[in-house]
Chains A and B, each alone.
Chain A
Amino acid sequence: MNGFWSGRRRGKSIAAAVVAAGLLVGSLAGCSGSSGSSSADSATKGTVNWWGWTPEIGVGKAYIAAFNKVYPNIKVTYKQVATASYDAAIRPALASNVGPDVFNMAPGGGIGSIAAYQGSAIDLAPVVQKALGSDWKSKVAAIGPVGLTTSSGKLAALSVGSTFAGSVWVNPDMFAKYGLTPPKTFADWVKVCSAFASHNVTCFEQGAGDPGFNMDLLHAIADSIKPGVWSKAAAGKAKWTDPTLVQAMTVFKSMFSNGIIQKGALGVQQYPDVNNDFMAGKTAMVMMGTWYMQYSTVAGATAAVSAAGVANAKPFPIVSIPFPDVTGAGNPAPLFGDADYGLAVNTKSTHQKAAETFVTWLATNEAAQQVVANSLNDISALSSVSPKWSDVTLVDQSSQQSTLESLIGNASKITEPRLGDLSTPLGQAIGVATASVAGGQATPTAALTTLQSSAKG
């Protein structure tokens, strides 16, 4: 009986099966990826791998093409990683010896946080000094190096451009259609929204399921009441239970009940939901930052409207309005921002010199920065550069160019960070506070008290 059930034979044949499977699969190994062997590090020759969550692939390729006209022997490969997966992907990659040579980094505690990855970044101060001279700080927007310098003084990344939030964007066609004008005060805002509601049109849409954008809204309200309190609280120099912030949270809460914010906002994300509704002409106003400038151009707006699912897409001339003065305090319209992203060079890169060349070129070269400025996504890092309007085709030059210019002008003076002074846990705690107030689970005071206690400890 045991002869039939021979263990030996059985073992042999399993081994054979495993080996066979191994061979079959092994034949695939030839195709497996391997990065080319590293040659000597040179500032004008080599290969550079760049990972980022932004810019888009097409824009990244355009940057690289422009770069290659000057440095034809540095081959740059850009890999865009989805915003939601960037941290999951970059952590192990930076820990390995085959990670990217250049990677995106951002101020604050969100995606690509400087706090998390500065250990993998070389100090770029000597490089930028070489490129722009010892007075380099006066030549770039101050907000860049502020957010990308570590507490020990290392410049961990070079800002390519900045983005600012606090502005509201409107669809003028929709306002015109119903004979309405964009709101300047809170009372205006309520009135405008009830007028839109009477036509069954969404007035102001907010992706309240997205904590980051609730934070922008609350931050803007607080700055409109009394500038600076939010920043102090974020830095731990004021309490989150400060009367200004309680008032701001109360205003925030009222927007959900007085018809300004659409019903069901807590189940909506700013991207892609709100963005697509705005581009499809389904809502008249959204709270978006300076990155929305890119939809002022014919090309940008047409693509965005089509992407929102509208057939035979026709662009409309979006314009930004200052955040309404919610309490009549008469303060300047709030605007706050940071470097959108900075480029860091990996300490383990075997092509550091070539990587430095690329990073420096994109962040400090006038021609490169002109490309950044003209794309109207980021406000260029180099102060001397501004969009060249003759090269940009706006949907409606007469209504848009002046507002864009004043928006860019205002933004370049701003030093109040949007994300830069928020640690990850603090950002999460603010998100919890806004969601619980918006959902009616907590009063503004209770939510802020909880926030204050979690911020402390």
Chain B
Amino acid sequence: MTSSSRTAETADRAQGRGAARRRSFLRPTGYAWILPALVFSVGLLYYSVGYTGYISTLNWNGTAPDVTHVGLANYAKAFGDPVFWLTIQHTAISFVVTFTLSTLLGFVFAALLHSRPWFGGLYKVALFVPVVLAPAIMAPVFRQIFANDGQFNWLLEHIGLGALAQPWLAQSGTALAVILAITIWGGTGVSFILYSAAMGQIDPEQLEAAELDGAGNIRRLVSIIWPNVRGTTLALATLSAIGALKTFDIPYLVTVGGPNFATEFLGTLIYRTSIPLGQVGYGAALSILLLVIALVMAIVLNAGRNKRGARTDA
């Protein structure tokens, strides 16, 4: 119980400091509450990070006993690797596109399904099942759909857009778009669920009041519901950013990062480097760079969150 008595002391000190932080003044300290999660998650994962950091200074194939220390050479190699910069570009595009579309669709679906349509359950299942299915299973299905003679081109031809039909996955220009579409397909269910839960918290009276004021559906969506689920939107921004950085399964399984690195992401690059190529040191350096980017992004997102004034206590 040493840790908790120490936290109690901290609480006393915080109280002593008083007026500057009125909210803190009323709050008991919570170190003991976050400790299990921190020790567990941070302990296990950051040990891995430290280990990876060490590996990143080596030239090593992961199994052989001979190991060469190369300092920061692996990092220099990354910065000079055009494919690395390409993955950064893809990650940024992926974040913007998947966040915007998944969030928008998830929000609209949640609002529509909260309006008690007929057969709501069926629609929910249709949105949720894509979340559940492993990308490994769906990869061949999607390759078939977007093949030159696949269902997507068939559909285009039958709705009079035959001119747009093309081998989607075979072209550098369109392959990334397909990968993003699949990501959105599999991710919208999550934003839908989260928005759905958040909308369940909105005070019905607020909505009724707006209705009495004559606010239409669109206005209510924009001016009442949207602001009320801002916390969820921010969480989704974080999750999308993390998702974009971690992107691995879908490009790896559908296009193997190709054609010509058009769908290469940091995750696929790290995998290819560390496992088949056996360049464990270089792969570790790329992982550390990934983590640094993540931290920078976290700081930026957090700054944005604080600036908008939603949180005063952090």
B-side contacts of A209, CB under 8 Å: 169-170, 255-256, 258-259
Of A8-16, A28-36, A311-319, A330-338, the stretch lying at the interface with chain B is A8-16
Known A-B contacts A7-B11, A267-B147, A439-B172; A119 and B63 likewise in contact (beta carbons under 8 Å): yes
Residue of B whose beta carbon sits closest to that of A82: B136
Residue of A whose beta carbon sits closest to that of B261: A432
Does B32 belong to the interface (CB within 8 Å)?
yes
Max chain B Cβ within 10 angstroms of own Cβ: one of A94, A208, A209: A209
Question: Complex formed: what's the CA distance from A117 to B183 in Å?
Answer: 35
A313 → chain B, closest Cβ, in Å?
A: 19
Q: Are B1 and A12 in contact (CB under 8 A)?
A: yes
Of B92-100, B126-134, B271-279, the stretch lying at the interface with chain A is B271-279
Question: Complex formed: what's the CA distance from A263 to B168 in Å?
Answer: 11
A249 → chain B, closest Cβ, in Å?
A: 15
Question: Complex formed: what's the CA distance from A354 to B116 in Å?
Answer: 66
Question: Complex formed: what's the CA distance from A202 to B147 in Å?
Answer: 13
Does A265 belong to the interface (CB within 8 Å)?
yes
Q: Are B169 and A94 in contact (CB under 8 A)?
A: no
Contact of B146 among A12, A267, A441 (CB under 8 A): A267
B-side contacts of A263, CB under 8 Å: 148, 167, 170
Does B238 belong to the interface (CB within 8 Å)?
no
A-side contacts of B259, CB under 8 Å: 209, 266-267, 435, 438-439
Does A298 belong to the interface (CB within 8 Å)?
no
Does B220 belong to the interface (CB within 8 Å)?
no
Q: Are B1 and A8 in contact (CB under 8 A)?
A: yes
**Cβ proximity bits B30-56 to A, threshold 8 Å, 1 near / 0 not:** 001101100000000000000000000
B-side contacts of A2, CB under 8 Å: 8, 11-12, 28
Q: Are B275 and A87 in contact (CB under 8 A)?
A: yes
Residue of A whose beta carbon sits closest to that of B253: A84
Does B3 belong to the interface (CB within 8 Å)?
yes
Does B201 belong to the interface (CB within 8 Å)?
no
Residue of B whose beta carbon sits closest to that of A120: B63
Question: Complex formed: what's the CA distance from A88 to B275 in Å?
Answer: 6
A-side contacts of B63, CB under 8 Å: 91, 94-95, 116-117, 119-120
Residue of A whose beta carbon sits closest to that of B256: A209
Q: Are A5 and B275 in contact (CB under 8 A)?
A: no
Does B200 belong to the interface (CB within 8 Å)?
no
B156 → chain A, closest Cβ, in Å?
A: 14
Does B115 belong to the interface (CB within 8 Å)?
no
| Number of chain B residues close to chain A: CB under 8 A | 44
Residue of A whose beta carbon sits closest to that of B4: A11
| Number of chain A residues close to chain B: CB under 8 A | 45
Q: A residues 264-280 with Cβ under 8 Å of B?
A: 264-269, 272-273
Known A-B contacts A87-B275, A262-B148; A7 and B170 likewise in contact (beta carbons under 8 Å): no
**Cβ proximity bits A168-209 to B, threshold 8 Å, 1 near / 0 not:** 000000000000000000000000000000000010000011
Q: Are A7 and B148 in contact (CB under 8 A)?
A: no
Q: Are B170 and A268 in contact (CB under 8 A)?
A: yes
Contact of A5 among B11, B148, B276 (CB under 8 A): B11
Question: Complex formed: what's the CA distance from A235 to B170 in Å?
Answer: 31
Max chain B Cβ within 10 angstroms of own Cβ: one of A88, A95, A111, A269: A269
B143 → chain A, closest Cβ, in Å?
A: 6
A268 → chain B, closest Cβ, in Å?
A: 7
Question: Complex formed: what's the CA distance from A117 to B260 in Å?
Answer: 29
A-side contacts of B140, CB under 8 Å: 269, 272-273
Residue of B whose beta carbon sits closest to that of A437: B260
A292 → chain B, closest Cβ, in Å?
A: 19
Does B194 belong to the interface (CB within 8 Å)?
no
Does B151 belong to the interface (CB within 8 Å)?
no
Known A-B contacts A2-B8, A262-B148, A441-B172; A7 and B32 likewise in contact (beta carbons under 8 Å): yes
B77 → chain A, closest Cβ, in Å?
A: 13
Q: A residues 9-57 with Cβ under 8 Å of B?
A: 10-12, 14, 18
Contact of A425 among B11, B167, B277 (CB under 8 A): B277
B-side contacts of A120, CB under 8 Å: 63
Question: Complex formed: what's the CA distance from A437 to B243 in Å?
Answer: 32
Q: A residues 245-304 with Cβ under 8 Å of B?
A: 262-269, 272-273
B-side contacts of A269, CB under 8 Å: 140, 143, 256
**Cβ proximity bits B142-176 to A, threshold 8 Å, 1 near / 0 not:** 01101111000000000000000011111110010
Does A436 belong to the interface (CB within 8 Å)?
yes
Question: Complex formed: what's the CA distance from A202 to B149 in Å?
Answer: 10
Q: List 28 A-B contacts (CB under 8 A).
A: A7-B11, A7-B32, A10-B4, A10-B32, A12-B1, A94-B63, A110-B276, A116-B61, A116-B62, A119-B63, A209-B170, A209-B255, A209-B258, A210-B256, A264-B149, A264-B166, A264-B167, A266-B169, A266-B258, A267-B143, A267-B146, A267-B255, A267-B259, A268-B169, A268-B170, A269-B256, A273-B140, A425-B277
Q: Which 8 A-B pairs have the closest CB atoms?
A: A264-B167, A267-B169, A264-B148, A11-B4, A7-B8, A5-B28, A266-B170, A267-B170
